[in-house]
Amino acid sequence: MLAHELKNPLMSSQLALSSIQKRLDPQDPVLQRAASIQSSLDEIDRIIERCVEADSFEHGQAPIKLATFSLDQLINQLESGQNTERLYVIQRGIDSSPLIQSDPQYVLIILKNLVSNALKYSPPDTLVELLIRPAHQNIGAGLLFSISNEVGAAGLPDPARMFERYYRGEGALSQSGAGLGLWLAQEMAGNLGTVIEAQMSEHKISFSFFLPLKPASA
């Protein structure tokens, strides 16, 4: 309820700021300050969104609805809600848009949370890579999604705790956040019968998960 109540004043602030930005001269130094304020408002919006998603998930208000959807549809939805300037999508070994069999809303939330996490904790002048490639598990053919980024100033998270609810690494405490993104993504992945796995090195971190494809018609 509190998260929903915060949405209205936040939206009003964003509209007011947008109106001010439009009235400023392109060379006005105040624009840089306005951009910084906009970035802060966007971060608050993301935190509220995570809280709402977590609350809906825990209270069973977002039951799984399995459906068939194309990879192209999924990527288009992901890119429409993200800062795509730093997101680099690679489809390797995929000739056409395959059909995925899962819950599209769950999958989209998982991807958004992982990409947002990567954008937030990687150096600002680097790219975040989303690699999608064919894979096979005991349930059959599918796609492996891997989101990778360079390690930023916050450093690496504790591998034993990174998926804990509210966990935030010591280096990340200076940045805003609720500690819900990775936890929620992993919980939703589990409900879809998959798991998010992390691979880390000194300079790079990657999160991967598997989704099944629609079985070929007999």
What would the pLDDT profile of 106-125 be if each residue is shown by its tens digit?
Answer: 999 999 999 989 998 899 88
Predicted local distance difference test score (pLDDT) of residue 177: 62
| Closest-CA residue to 91 (of 134, 60, 44, 29) | 134
Average pLDDT estimate for 30-45: 71
- C-alpha distances (whole Å) from 107 to each of 11, 68, 101, 127, 190 are 26, 12, 10, 22, 11
pLDDT digits (tens, 9 = 90+) for 181-211: 899 899 999 999 999 999 999 899 999 999 9
Average pLDDT estimate for 40-51: 67
Residue type for position 180:
L
Q: Is the pLDDT of residue 145 over 60?
A: yes
How far apart, in whole angstroms, are the C-alpha atoms of residue 7 and residue 2?
9
Q: Is the pLDDT of residue 31 over 50?
A: yes
Predicted local distance difference test score (pLDDT) of residue 3: 59
Q: What is the DSSP letter of 213?
A: B
Residue 96 φ/ψ, nearest 5 degrees:
-140, 180
pTM of the model: 0.75
Q: Per residue in 104-131, is it b (16+ CB within 10 Å) or e — as a string? A: bebbbbbbbbbbbbbbbbbeeeeebbbb
> For residue 211, with 0-12 CB atoms within 10 Å meaning exposed, 13-18 middle and 19 or more buried, which class applies?
buried
| Closest-CA residue to 134 (of 192, 73, 90) | 90
The SS3 call for residue 178 is: coil
Spatial contact of 57 and 105, defined as CB atoms under 8 Å apart: no
Token digits of residue 137: 């598990």
How far apart, in whole angstroms, are the C-alpha atoms of residue 21 and residue 42?
15
The SS3 call for residue 20 is: helix
In the chain, the largest separation of any two C-alpha atoms, in whole Å, equals 64
Which residue did the predictor score with more confidence, 51 or 158? Answer: 158
Q: Model confidence at 47, in pLDDT bands (50, 70, 90)? A: low
Spatial contact of 140 and 99, defined as CB atoms under 8 Å apart: no
Length of the chain: 218
Token digits of residue 13: 């602030």
Q: Is the pLDDT of residue 62 over 50?
A: yes
